[in-house]
């Protein structure tokens, strides 16, 4: 980063920290040539990222879809929504920061696995087992559909073991007296 005071190119980062709302990284920099100090901000730049599927078809990257697949893998796991949000943002940012305009569906799957590995073992295994079965011939979209179906099945399997609801006896009515 060029020094705004003397134009020197060897400025150094002295300190890096997230901004208050964590939407940016604030870096304190110093110029060894003139001693000038200044601050730079690193922010997310949303750009059109294209996903290349196994079929070769190209579709715009869909952050919501990524989030749904991560949430499905983390279903009923003790992980706060905020951490899921951060994971999805982190994956998205990594994909965007490759510098390439296109990313393969496989790279997304790998990034999700990598992220889940550090977050929750069960979710990682869930995602990885499904993903690895699908990586041969099918694309990420099908994986997401499969995960969603798996979640529905899991919900069906989790019917409480107590079984049938206990029938509630009808309330007794006071007998009406014939007058």
Number of neighbours of residue 3 by Cβ within 10 angstroms: 20
Residue 5 or 94 with smaller CB distance to Zn ion: 5
Minimum distance between the CB of residue 32 and Zn ion, rounded to whole angstroms?
8
Interface residues toward Zn ion, by CB under 5 A: 3, 5-6, 8, 31, 33-34, 36
- For residues 124 and 117, is the Cβ–Cβ distance under 8 A? yes
Minimum distance between the CB of residue 9 and Zn ion, rounded to whole angstroms?
9
Distances (CA, A) of 121 to 79, 93, 115, 117, 129: 11, 22, 10, 6, 12
Minimum distance between the CB of residue 26 and Zn ion, rounded to whole angstroms?
19
Residue 4 or 118 with smaller CB distance to Zn ion: 4
Residue 2 or 17 with smaller CB distance to Zn ion: 2
Minimum distance between the CB of residue 11 and Zn ion, rounded to whole angstroms?
7
- For residues 32 and 8, is the Cβ–Cβ distance under 8 A? yes
Pure H helices in 48-171? 63-73, 81-96, 105-119, 121-134, 140-157
Residue 31 or 91 with smaller CB distance to Zn ion: 31
Number of neighbours of residue 58 by Cβ within 10 angstroms: 10
């Amino acid at each position: 980063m060029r020094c705004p005071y003397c134009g020197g190119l060897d400025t150094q980062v002295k300190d890096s920290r997230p901004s208050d709302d964590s939407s940016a990284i604030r870096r304190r920099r110093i110029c060894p040539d003139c001693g000038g100090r200044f601050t730079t901000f690193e922010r997310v730049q949303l750009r059109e990222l294209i996903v290349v599927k196994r079929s070769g078809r190209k579709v715009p990257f869909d952050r919501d879809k990524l989030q749904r697949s991560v949430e499905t893998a983390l279903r009923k796991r003790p992980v706060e929504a905020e951490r899921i949000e951060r994971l999805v943002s982190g994956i998205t940012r990594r994909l965007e920061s490759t510098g390439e305009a296109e990313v393969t569906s496989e790279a997304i799957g790998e990034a999700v696995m990598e992220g889940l590995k550090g977050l929750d073992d069960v979710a990682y295994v869930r995602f990885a087992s499904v993903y690895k079965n699908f990586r041969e011939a099918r694309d990420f979209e099908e994986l997401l559909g499969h995960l969603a179906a798996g979640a529905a099945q899991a919900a069906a399997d989790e019917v409480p073991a107590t079984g049938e609801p206990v029938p509630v006896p009808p309330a007794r009515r006071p007998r009406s007296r014939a007058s």
